[in-house]
Amino acid sequence: MPSETGSALPGKIARLGATPRSGLLELWRQTFGKTAPLEIRREILLPFLAYKLQENAYGGLKRETRTELRRIARSLETNSTSSRSSRPRLKTGMRIYRRWRGEMHEVFVANSGFEHRGSTYQSLSELARQITGTRWSGPAFFGLHKKKRLIERSDA
């Protein structure tokens, strides 16, 4: 499929949702050069097609990124109990929110630690203890063991 550029692409992607399944299957054939898998649902067709259209227009992942993803996949295939944690990695600049006893706590992830209300803490557990007055696992207190990275929890 020829590369789409400019303002035509957003409109084409926006119209995918209103395109009948037969049209999506034909676009799949044109875009990927083969027929779509028979069992693929419409909810899956849409994001795949949208991504591929964008990739054709603007380019795909960098070579280094593809290499790193393959390396991670291989390590997970060879060691299903990989030391890679399913816990999200916290990056500088992220904000974590937790409601505790009716009060919202916002934590800023900084290079120097975790900032909360003008103080800096070396660990989330130290901060959780400060907030609750009891020993807590910081990642558990802030809900980082859950699937969502940043969550707002209500009091237990």
pLDDT at 149 exceeding the cut of 50: no
pLDDT bucket at 106, cuts 50 / 70 / 90: very high
Greater confidence (6 vs 137) lies with 137
SS3 72: helix
Q: For the whole prediction, is pTM greater than 0.85?
A: no
Task: Please check the confidence at residue 48 and state whether its pLDDT lies above 80.
Answer: yes
The pLDDT value given to residue 5:
56
Q: Span 105-123, mean pLDDT?
A: 94
Higher pLDDT, 152 or 124: 124
pLDDT at residue 117 is higher than 80: yes
Which distant-in-sequence residues (6+ apart) come within 8 Å of 142 by Cβ?
96, 98, 107, 124, 128
Q: Is 77 left (phi over 0), alpha (psi -120 to 50) or beta?
A: alpha
pLDDT bin (cut points 50, 70, 90) of residue 89 is confident
Distance CA 56, CA 2 (A): 8
Across all residues in the chain, what is the average pLDDT?
84
- C-beta of residue 132 within 8 angstroms of C-beta of residue 100: yes
Please give the single-letter amino acid code of residue 90. L
Per-residue pLDDT of 12-24, as tens digits, reads 999 999 999 999 9
Q: d(Cα 90, Cα 108) in Å, to the nearest integer?
A: 10
pLDDT band at 26 (very low <50, low <70, confident <90, very high): very high
pLDDT tens readout for residues 119-128: 999 999 999 9
